[in-house]
Structure 1
């Protein structure tokens, strides 16, 4: 049995070139990854390293702000998931504590007269920008320049995924037209080494909600991917300029479980602050997700009924955030129940 290894690093550049053999090899490597655990890393893409560094700097500048400034754009002040997310707001893994991360949710600028906003489509609305961040105009400009560059890269990844399924690279054009994607700036505080890692994970073990995720890491590690056959957690070491790419639950559903949306987590035991920027590509909210071509054996039925991007991803959000709120209420109730006993001891 071969030793499990972290997601392979694939040179994505053949997809932009004229070397047909190299492109065929890339498509086959991506196909193998999709069947195994749905994770791979890519270099040779069209997002400049210089832009990656600028946007990571933007993220760090935001999280350096005082809490009262960040809370001025709290995403709980709106209904469309744009703005700041406080530490311990989400809980993706049952049995852990709410997660030791804070974030800033960003998406395409959707004004309040846009049909998506009026119809309350998935994560659709205007961005909530911090006003106290140094060089505010550059912050916004760089953030959106990066957002659009990774949006285009996500479309390129989906074109390759189409080729792995034996269909034209344009197959997912209806999914990507009018697509919704959410980018997060994430900050993981340094986790004390003696803290219980079950209750203080950066992100608990989970699978992603949407179609495909592209993750930019800084130099601090902490991301781990589960190797399902062995049960071993594999560290995904940061590679300068690379993206960690993984399939989400929506894509696995469309692939009739032939392609994997795999479990991963973040445990920041580096003793350092960690920053990352995941880009979650969901798709056109009204796109009807059905079983993809060549994902059924002869005579096999689709495992799942058709569902829209909107309904699938919205339900997943409600579950993970509801879990965190339930946990916090239970902890508050527990504290209140313990107060009389403490008072009696002191009497």
Structure 2
């Protein structure tokens, strides 16, 4: 089994009239979200050069920044220095999935909280993003702005798929309280496993928001999606496409009509890509790393409702799923706070 494809191009330009192309895209989106919860999104309009620049920016910083440089933007608990409990760099093993440490390093970024104070101490999620440098900030800010436009287009497609007015979701997503992760997966060598036992790249989980737009390098066999039969499906990268999946909040919003699917990040045994890096070596955590030899990079952007948006099952979806609301309502920001709180504490604590 492979993931289905959805073409979002008919919805990129806001305010265009209904068309057969829109109907076709909306139907493919409905089927993909109802049957699988994962799909390849094509026709998104974001240039390959932009995507490559984002991935290269992450890879270069992760593999060349010193421990001291990484420590300057390290995630801190809320109320500690410039920490807000979520934003910033996480070393290998700090991020937690279902109580187990993950084998990756990352920088977590969030939209600005609507009540963000001008200076610390910060409450959870109320702080500023901790950027590695101005170039990183400029590249990612521009990229995220493009993803937000894409997310809004997909919401218009979703509205048509659910027989709603095309602009139905606009009040709920303006502004989106987006989340972005810049993730590096070091080679899973025996030495690395010994130094950091207890986790995989990213453990099996479902995402807790609305849509996830995954940009990743060319590594194959890394992302696994759980099928209805319990077997794992490879969600290998397809040139010109994003891998997109339904999050838990969207599943609740559609009263279970759309499926939030469990997936995980693995470490393929070898990776021979990015030939432009051949011959360059670094020492990373005491391990000699050849750039391009299984150091995987991915950048998921989570397109979410606004912080204040009140989300409850849609009436039309309730009708289509048996006439009973399966979920209660929730304010997105409060829901997100509850989820983020579990990201950094293992089952041993």
Could you tell me the TM-score, scaled by structure 2's length?
A: 0.82
Of 293-302 and 139-148, more deviation after overlay is shown by: 293-302
Q: Is 1:104–1:185's contact at 8 Å kept on the other side of the alignment? A: yes
Find the aligned partners of 1:121 and 1:288 in 2 and give their Cα distance: 21
Find the aligned partners of 2:126 and 2:141 in 1 and give their Cα distance: 15
Find the aligned partners of 2:137 and 2:45 in 1 and give their Cα distance: 21
Matched, 1:279 2:282: no
Q: Quick one: structure 1 residues 121 and 51, their matched pair in 2 at CA, closer, same or farther if it must change by over 3 Å?
A: farther
Find the aligned partners of 1:166 and 1:116 in 2 and give their Cα distance: 37
Task: Give the aligned partner of residue 214 of structure 1.
Answer: 213
Task: Give the aligned partner of residue 179 of structure 2.
Answer: 182
Q: What is the correspondence of 1:12-31 to structure 2 with a 5 Å cutoff?
A: 12-16=8-12, 20-31=19-30
Q: Give the drift of 1:170.
A: 0.9
Task: Give the aligned partner of residue 129 of structure 1.
Answer: 131
Find the aligned partners of 2:185 and 2:254 in 1 and give their Cα distance: 33
- Structure 2 stretches lacking a partner, 5+ long: 77-81, 271-293
Q: Give the drift of 1:10.
A: 2.7
Q: Is 1:52–1:241's contact at 8 Å kept on the other side of the alignment? A: no
Task: Give the aligned partner of residue 104 of structure 1.
Answer: 107
Q: Is 1:215–1:278's contact at 8 Å kept on the other side of the alignment? A: yes
Q: Is 1:191–1:200's contact at 8 Å kept on the other side of the alignment? A: no
The SS at the match of 1:167 is coil
Task: Give the aligned partner of residue 160 of structure 1.
Answer: 157
The SS at the match of 2:204 is strand
Q: Give the drift of 1:139.
A: 2.5
Per-residue CA distance 1:36-73 (angstroms, 9 max, x = gap): 12111112112111111111111112202112211111
The SS at the match of 1:294 is helix
Task: Give the aligned partner of residue 266 of structure 1.
Answer: 265
The SS at the match of 2:269 is coil
Per-residue CA distance 1:130-164 (angstroms, 9 max, x = gap): 2xxxxx44322111111111111111111111111
Matched, 1:89 2:94: yes
Q: Give the drift of 1:107.
A: 3.2
Task: Give the aligned partner of residue 144 of structure 1.
Answer: 141
